[in-house]
Amino acid sequence: MINSNSKLSLGVEFGSTRIKAVLIDENQAVVATGAFEWENQLENGIWTYSLDSVWQGLQASYAQLKQEVKDKYGFTLSKISTIGVSAMMHGYLAFDKNAQLLTPFRTWRNAITAEAEHQLTQIFEFNIPQRWSIAHLYQAILNNEAHVEDVAFFTTLAGYVHWKLTGKKVLGIGDASGMFPIDSKTKDYNTEMIKTFDTTVCDKNYPWKLKDILPRVLTAGQKAGALTDEGAKLLDPGGDLEPGIPLCPPEGDAGTGMVATNSVKQRTGNISAGTSVFAMIVLENELSTVYPEIDLVTTPIGDAVAMVHANNCSSEINAWVKIFREFLESSGIKMSTEQLYQTLFTESLKGDMDAGGLLSYGYLSGENITKIPEGRPLLVRTPNSNFNLANLIRVNLYTAFGALQMGMKTLTEKEQVKVDQIFGHGGIFKTEGVAQQILASAINTPVSVMETAGEGGAWGIALLADYLKYAEEGLALEDYLEQKVFAGAKISTRQPIAEETAGFEVFAERYAKGLAIELAAIENFNI
């Protein structure tokens, strides 16, 4: 039983649809949680979140967690040993010298930096995806946007929240690797590429150099500042939380996913599935060439990672579940959300291995891997397709991993990358054995899920906060995870099913050919 003197660590992660707070004890077990649902908005063609909603969500999720502590353990939360903040990687939050936001937050979901992506990839000879922060900055330069001259600092969402809580303009190396390329040897931004960038834009005569407006890079285990008086009030407006709490470096959701699945060692990997889906494979060797579908980022300690990122995953599944919920409610039938997902996912097991000839694209936004610039969710079938409930759910599960599978093939077939262990995490895996099995068959690799899979990145950043105490003792992050966190973890593993793998390949061919339909929908269907 915890009490007011317990050494607790708090992790808060800003996901694309939910802000979640997780409190863990000295044994790394979750003792309280809080959550806040939010959604991005498409405003003037830009996917964004308002900064007001950032703080509303943070305070609401913390307040719920604080109340749970009061209800379950009988004390008011005021002392926390360590805190960590994580969020969706990439995107663009730019501020002037007075800390004023210069342009609405441009999230990772935007596919508006194709010109910058192409030019920077050529200039650096290094893949720079559209969602990276440097691509957003350079695209603003190419667009001659007036605000660029006034940029004094730009960062990610996690970096922004951390800055406001501590006053420190820093970033964990994993999140920083989604802003600008990292040199894994120096554990810092690639200095030659910074020089190249400054030279490329020197004719603009901006009053800044790139290094001066980027957040400082830190690795896991380094202290990243402490909660200020102002920060404590931002987190807990009730005034109970004491300032002075150490914070770990703010990290991106990719890094927290690696931590939450014990996937920071070479030849390990994880796949995080939510609104977007991405695979993170810790590399033994450098890739032989530049692949537009493969990002090179790092673990929270700076080791090189191949990242396959698809912008769309579960949103269309959630939309269909909402339709079925509306039907149940209109029929006077009550069913919990968890039971509804479980019922539908389980029904998909009855479907045909190729999803009955159905084709679906859950593209609420553009998709970089398939070169689709905008989102048009589609369901397509022929008169001969086997259109039933099982295949409808199965095709939506298949398409959730469709773009990811394309990128993974590049790693495993072209680069012969070896992976000993892949873990899946995220809400899509909560229904035991369904999405996990489909993913294993899709990538033709065993996929493991831990009992903590549903906790995801919020637990991961809580672990990184907790790790601060052990880093002082000289314990390496991978040893902390092995010895302190996952020593007795319950793990379930699903092997690929040959028939399902073959069926997914049939679907994958249909998926690739049907992209012309998606492009036609973008051209001809607008509201």
pLDDT surpasses 80 at 438: yes
pTM: 0.82
- Please, which contacts does 131-134 make with residues 24 or more away whose CB atoms are closer than 8 Å? 131/89, 131/90, 131/91, 131/107, 131/178, 131/309, 131/311, 131/368, 132/90, 132/178, 132/179, 132/180, 132/295, 133/90, 133/91, 133/92, 133/178, 133/179, 133/180, 134/179, 134/180, 134/197
- Does residue 25 surpass a pLDDT of 80? yes
pLDDT given for residue 275 in this prediction: 86
| Angle subtended at Cα 119 by Cα 116 and Cα 125, rounded to the nearest 5 degrees | 125
- pLDDT, one tens digit per residue, over 234-264 is 999 999 999 999 999 999 998 998 998 899 9
Report residue 419's pLDDT band, with 50, 70 and 90 as the boundaries. confident
Residue range 339-352: mean pLDDT, rounded = 97
Residue 203 pLDDT class (50, 70, 90 cuts): very high
pLDDT category of residue 151 using cuts at 50, 70 and 90? very high
Measured between alpha carbons, how far is residue 170 from residues 121, 181, 228, 251, 299 in Å? 25, 16, 15, 10, 16
Question: 489: pLDDT confidence band, cut at 50, 70 and 90?
Answer: confident
| Higher per-residue confidence, 77 vs 490 | 77
Average pLDDT over residues 141-149: 97
Q: What per-residue confidence (pLDDT) applies to 452?
A: 59
Q: Are 340 and 264 in contact (CB under 8 A)?
A: no
What pLDDT was estimated at residue 87? 97
Q: CB–CB of 194/176 below 8 Å?
A: no
Please provide the average confidence, as pLDDT, over all residues in the chain: 94
Res 455: pLDDT: 58
Write down the pLDDT at residue 39: 92
Mean pLDDT of 476-485: 95
What pLDDT is attached to residue 124? Answer: 97
Confidence of residue 95 (pLDDT cuts 50, 70, 90): very high
Whether the CB-CB separation of 247 and 226 falls below 8 Å is answered with yes
- Region of 167 (left: φ > 0; alpha: ψ -120 to 50; beta: rest) is left
498 sits in which H/E element: helix 498-513
User: What are the pLDDT digits (tens) for 154-169?
Assistant: 999 999 999 999 999 9
pLDDT digits (tens, 9 = 90+) for 281-309: 999 888 999 998 899 999 999 999 999 98
Give the pLDDT score at 363.
97
- pLDDT tens for 445-457 read 999 998 755 557 8
- pLDDT at position 457 is 84
Q: How confident is the model at residue 101 (pLDDT cuts 50, 70, 90)?
A: very high
* CA pair distance 152, 150, nearest whole angstrom: 6
What is the torsion angle, in degrees rounded to the nearest 10, for the CA atoms of residue 171, residue 177, residue 181 and residue 186? Answer: 70
Residue 519, pLDDT > 90, answer yes
Share of the chain above pLDDT 90, in %: 86
**pLDDT: which is higher, 153 or 267:** 153
Reply yes or no on whether the pLDDT at 1 is more than 90. Answer: no
| pLDDT beyond 60 at 152 | yes
Q: Please give the Cα distance from 190 to 180 (Å, whole number).
A: 8
- The one-letter amino acid code at 370 reads T
Residue % of the chain over a pLDDT of 70: 99
CB neighbours (10 Å) of residue 474? 8
Q: Name the band, by pLDDT with cuts 50, 70 and 90, for residue 376.
A: very high
- Whether 121 has a pLDDT exceeding 80, the answer reads yes
Supply φ then ψ for residue 477, to 5 degrees.
Answer: -60, -45
Instruction: Identify which of 131, 108, 111 has the alpha carbon closest to the alpha carbon of residue 16.
Output: 108
| Confidence grade of residue 278 (pLDDT, cut at 50, 70, 90) | confident
| Structure confidence at residue 197 as a pLDDT band (50, 70, 90) | very high
On whether the CB atoms of residues 494 and 345 are closer than 8 A, the answer is: no
**C-alpha neighbours within 13 Å on the C-beta side of residue 367:** 31
